[in-house]
Each structure stands twice: as structure tokens, then as C-alpha cells.
Structure 1
Amino acid sequence: MLEIALLVAPLFVLLGIGMAAGFAQRFRSAQAGLNAFVFNFALPAFILMALAEAPVSDGVPLAFVVTSFVVPGALAFAVGGAARLWSRVRARRAAAHGRGASDASAVAPGPLAIASTYGNVGYLGVPIVLSVVGPQAALAAALGQLLHNVLFMVGYPLLKALQHRRHGVDEAAKTGLFELVWRVFTRAVLVNPVMISVVLGLILGALPVTMPDVFRESLGMLGQAAVPAAMFAVGLSIKPAFEGMRSGAVPVTAVLIASTVKLAILPAVTIVVLLAFGASLGSSWIAAAVIMAAMPVSSTASILVFEYDGDARVTSATTLVTSVVAVITIPLAILATPA
């Protein structure tokens, strides 16, 4: 336990430094630019270089794909469905007593589902997998974050767009189904720098070619900035989330539910599925799947929720809580990982 904690401790120290810097206005005002740098340049370079040297020709286990994609997706639907059912029960109880339902503790199903399952697999998951498991897990780490991001960055906007189309909301009501799907897919995948870096990395790793030294060294230097810059950026996002919780604007019960699902239930279900169906997986694939599932909520989740739901306070608050508690839960999840 102590050895694993020491491996991931430097990453959380960087997060703490970012959190402390978030109390200064000049750093808070730079957060958008820092996030843009990490997402568009540093992290893609980091992933590209890791995949270019990964054993891509060995193939990808189907059990890993199913575990990384289906488990969080199913759990997100379960949490969203439960939240929707609970809101209907509250509304019926309020109607039975002749009063309107209070919105003080109500949380929309979509944001709660995202807050319960959308992990920080890129900024935090990839560095931790490579730190704990080693470079042999580069392929598993990159594919894990790719599957995770496709699930949420494509799936959630698509569900929202289809919902608006069905209810005649906004311009989605006038858009054809194929055009709607293509528009969401293009935005989330085809022009996404992280997605592009994964594809290029897989191609370079599969082909018997060597990248010129000048490009390899340049991308390597850029990629080295990804981990510290990403952790610092995550830390900067914590103070606004804390202020939301302190003001009482965020339902604490919803945050606790989402945090429990994200840090305990999702990793536990992932381990159970791996025990049942992943007997043929190598240790690096198993460790990568569990570590990715154990990640705290991504700050990108708040951006996604704000864009499609307009209120990301629950998601931001859950990012705060899970980022702090993950210092303990991530080593525990790694210890519980099947050998």
C-alpha cells in the first residue's frame, strides 16, 4: 500500500500545488489557456509518443474493450435511470400532498450520471497507469482513455441531441438523424486532438517506420509537460467547486452518491467483470482497466454538462470531492486488482 501510494503521491502533490495557486486571480484567469495547451498539444504529444513505442501488433483483447466501454456506460444509464425515477416519485408525492415539488435537492439525471462515471482518464489516468505499471501498459492506457472519451464525449452529446430532436427543442428538431449523428461524431472524434493522437500513435506503432529524431525529440519535450500541466490545471478547478459546496447551492447528497459510485462501485464492478470474463487478459491490461475505472471525476465532465445542461455545479463539486478522496481510493483499487 505504501509503495503504491508513494508512486502516485507526486501527481497529487502537483494537484495540491495547482489548488493552492487557484487562490490567486492571475492563475485562475490562466486556467482556460492552460487547459487548452494540455488538451490540444501536451497530452496528444504524450499519448502519441507512448503509443508509437507500444506493442500495437500484439492486438487488443476484446475483454478489455468490453470492460472499459460497457461497464461505465451501463452504470451511467443505471444512475441516470434511478435519478429520473426518484424525481418522478418526488413529484407524485408532492402532488399527492397538494404542493409543488421543491427543486432545492433535485438533480437532473444526466449531470448525476456523468458525475458518477466520467473519470479523469486522460490527465490523470494515463500518467498513473504508466507510473504504476510501466511503459508496457502504454497501449492499454491510451485505448482505455480513448474508449472512455468516445463513450462520454460522443454518447452524451448524441443522447442530448436525440432528446432535443424528439421533443422539438432548438435546431436539433429540424436536423436529420444521420446529419445529427455525423455532426456530433465530427466534433467529438474527428477534430479532437486527443483522439487524433491515439489514431496516429496506433498507426506509427503498427508500421515498421522510425520517426525522425527532430520530431521525436520535439514531441517528447512537449509530452513531458503534459503530466505536470494537467495536474496543475485540475488543481485550479477545485476552488470554484469548493465555493459552490460551501454556498449550499450544491446538493451534498447528490455529490456523495456520485462520489461513491465513481470511486467505489465503478472500480468494484470493473474488478468483478474482469474476474468473470478477463481471465485471458495480461496483467498490464487488467491493471490499466481498474486504474482507469478508479479515477476521480474529470474537470472535462463539468464542461460537457455545462454545455448541454447549463448547470455543472454537482459535477464540479464531485470533481473536488473525488480528487481529494482518490489519494486513498486509487492505491486501494490497485491493491484489489486481480493479479
Structure 2
Amino acid sequence: MSSPSPGSGGDSPPRRPAVIEMLTVIAPLFAIILLGFGAGFAPRLLQASPHLNAFVFYFALPGFIYTTIISAPPVGHFPWAMPLVVLVVTPTLAIGLYYLSRAMGGLSRDLAAPVSLAGSFGNVGYFGIPISIGLLGPEAGLTAGVVHMVHNIFFMNGYPLVRTAVRTREREGAAASFGDLMSRQLWPILRRGLVLNPVFWFMGLSLLVVLTPFSMPELFDEPVAMLGTTAVPLALFCVGLALHPALQGVRSGAVPVLPIAIGTAAKLAVLPVLTWLALLPFYEQLGPVWAGTLIILAATPSSTTAFIFSETYDGDGRMAAALLVATTAVSLLTLPLVAALLL
């Protein structure tokens, strides 16, 4: 005789409240972030942060995504609505934040680009993938990995390309031809973001393994899986370390409070709601796992990459730093609420 399902009146234990369930998933993540933040008071560890981040990006994260995808139960289909939602909703919010900040004038106008970036670029890899798996089950590993790839292709290429083009035009005016701009500055960005990006290579390999009879030998899979197990704890530890330069950036100069509040609200509330509204017409095609993954990833706090990009391409990372700190802290409250609405 088959065992009764939860909620059917059998002997199965009742499901925990969604808020409690989400807290059990995210509490260890925040504990590691706090551990990293505490370790950041040791100068030697803080100085090691760039090297740890490089290890995560080039080795641990590709291994984590590859192993997560090939070991996830099949989801049955890849809905075309998924990239449509990601590539319409998130850029729309980013553009809206940019022009809203410019309309506010003053220092907010000058910091419009960082607000736009940090208010829409989420930590979908380090936060989103493990939270999706913990909340929705192992089948969310594949969906979260694919959404992560689409999301990062857009941000990790789009923002550097746009900001480089804008700043070059501002500096050189009409003298900067498109061909020269492409060969000197834009192509190197595309090469780093796509051709030399190990995450995308391993994502492509994992999809090849999942969608075709092709498979990799155990001598490849096992070391990759071992590297992948270090990705989430080490990445979150690096997030904690990154809070130190972020806080220093905030303390080093005046950062307007209103854009911080607007960017935090946009990232943690507006983006998940817009994503939910956008996927409603496609829910039958997406199903609960794809839809739930899209909402969870939309609700993640700002990525540390937003701070790095703002420092590199805007020349001032203070606003992105402030949003990194604010969204990371506030997400401890908002993510359980998202779980309650999903479950």
C-alpha cells in the first residue's frame, strides 16, 4: 500500500511553516558571511580576498554549477519564456532605476549607473542556487543553473560594454569611431565575459551531458565535484570579506540615503514582484520549479560583482557598496517572506 502524502491525513509529519523552512536554508549562508566578515578584521585574510575570489570564479563555481546540473533530476523541458522573463524584466528595472536616479538630481544623478546596477544585479550564483535547491528540491539545481547563466551573460557583458562605450564617448566625443571602440575596448570585454569565462564553458558542458548521450569519465567528474563543494561556503566567506572594503567605501564619503533605500527596495521587493507578474501568463509552460526559481533568484541581494564593476567602470564603488551591505542585511528578512508566498 502506498504511503500517504503530506497533508493527506496520514502519519507523515506536517510541513514546517514556509518562513521557518527558509530560515533553516539561509541561516547557514548568513553564518558563513558573518564568519567572513569577522575574518576580515585580520589584514592578512582581507588581503587574500582577491585570490580567494579568483579561485571561486575559475575553479569552484564552474565545478559547483556543472555538478549541480548533471546530478539534478530532469525537469522535462526548457521553457522559452524563461529567458524572455529574465532578459525583459531585469533590464527594464535597471533602466528604470537609472532614469529615476538621474531625475532626482544632485549626487543621485551622478550615481545613477551604480544604483541601476546594484539595484538589479543579484547574487544568483552563491545565494540563489543553494536557496533554490534547499527550498524547491534537487530538481531546482538545473533550473537555477540555467537561469544563472542567462542572468550573468546579460550583466557581466552588458554593463561593462555600455559603461565603457558611454565613458569613451564622453571622453573622446565623435572622434571615437565604432570600429576603433570595438577593437580596443569592447571586444576585450566580450572575450573575457564569454570566450574566457570558465562558468559558461562548464555550463555548456553540463547541458551537453544532460541533453545528449555524451558523458564525461569519472576521473573528470569526481575532482570537479570536489572542487564544487567548496564553491558556496568559500564564495559566501568572500562576501563577508568584501563587506569590509564596501563599508570603508561608504564611510569614505557622503552617499545619499534615498538612492540606497530605493535601490534596496527595487532589488528585494520590486524585482521579485515584477518577475512574478511577468511569469503569470506563462505559468502553465514554466511550472512550479521554473517559476519558483525565477522568483527566488530575483529576490537575492546585490552581487559583490556589482561593487567590483562599479569600482572598475564607474570609478566610484561607494553606492554599489552601500547597496551590497543594505540588501545583504535586509534579505535576511525578505527571503523568508518570499518563501512564505511561494510555499
TM-score w.r.t. the length of structure 1 is 0.88
Shift of 1:196: 1.5
CA spacing shift, 1:310–1:334, aligned 2, 3 Å: same
2:75/2:139 contact within 8 Å kept: no
Is 1:85 paired with 2:103?
yes
Aligned match for 1:38, one of 33, 37, 56: 56
Is 1:267 paired with 2:285?
no
Structure 1 CA distance, aligned partners of 2:164 and 2:36? Answer: 35
2:123/2:303 contact within 8 Å kept: yes
Structure 2 CA distance, aligned partners of 1:330 and 1:41? Answer: 28
Aligned match for 2:30, one of 9, 12, 16: 12
Is 1:122 paired with 2:125?
yes
Matching residue of 2:231: 226
Between the two proteins, the alignment pairs up a number of residues equal to 323
Shift of 1:163: 2.1
Structure 2 CA distance, aligned partners of 1:53 and 1:79? Answer: 38
Structure 2 CA distance, aligned partners of 1:207 and 1:57? Answer: 15
Structure 2 CA distance, aligned partners of 1:31 and 1:12? Answer: 18
Where in structure 2 are the equivalents of 1:1-339 lying within 5 Å? 1-54=19-72, 58-87=76-105, 103=107, 106-167=109-170, 169=172, 173-176=176-179, 179=183, 182-337=187-342
Structure 1 CA distance, aligned partners of 2:227 and 2:132? Answer: 19
1:22/1:28 contact within 8 Å kept: yes
1:266/1:294 contact within 8 Å kept: yes
Structure 1 CA distance, aligned partners of 2:291 and 2:315? Answer: 37
Q: Which residue identity is paired with 2:127?
A: L
Shift of 1:174: 4.2
1:168-217, CA deviations, whole angstroms, 9 ceiling, x for partnerless residues? Answer: 53999245176465443222111111122111111121121332222221
1:79/1:113 contact within 8 Å kept: yes
Partner SS state of residue 322, structure 2? helix
Structure 2 CA distance, aligned partners of 1:147 and 1:122? Answer: 12
Structure 2 CA distance, aligned partners of 1:326 and 1:220? Answer: 29
Structure 2 CA distance, aligned partners of 1:304 and 1:270? Answer: 24
* Aligned residues: CA RMSD: 2.2
Partner SS state of residue 117, structure 1? coil
Structure 2 CA distance, aligned partners of 1:22 and 1:118? Answer: 24
Q: Which residue identity is paired with 1:186?
A: R
1:21-78, CA deviations, whole angstroms, 9 ceiling, x for partnerless residues? Answer: 1111121011111100101100000111122234678331122211122111110011
1:290/1:334 contact within 8 Å kept: no
Quote the sequence identity (%). 39
Partner SS state of residue 199, structure 1? helix
Q: Which residue identity is paired with 1:292?
A: L
Shift of 1:164: 3.9
Q: Which residue identity is paired with 1:60?
A: F
CA spacing shift, 1:246–1:273, aligned 2, 3 Å: same
Q: Which residue identity is paired with 1:303?
A: I
Q: Which 5+ residue runs of structure 2 have no aligned equivalent? A: 1-18
Structure 2 CA distance, aligned partners of 1:280 and 1:59? Answer: 9
Structure 1, 66-75 or 290-299: larger mean CA deviation:
66-75
1:230-288, CA deviations, whole angstroms, 9 ceiling, x for partnerless residues? Answer: 11000111122223334553222221111111111111111111223333212110111
Structure 1, 222-231 or 206-215: larger mean CA deviation:
206-215
CA spacing shift, 1:257–1:193, aligned 2, 3 Å: same
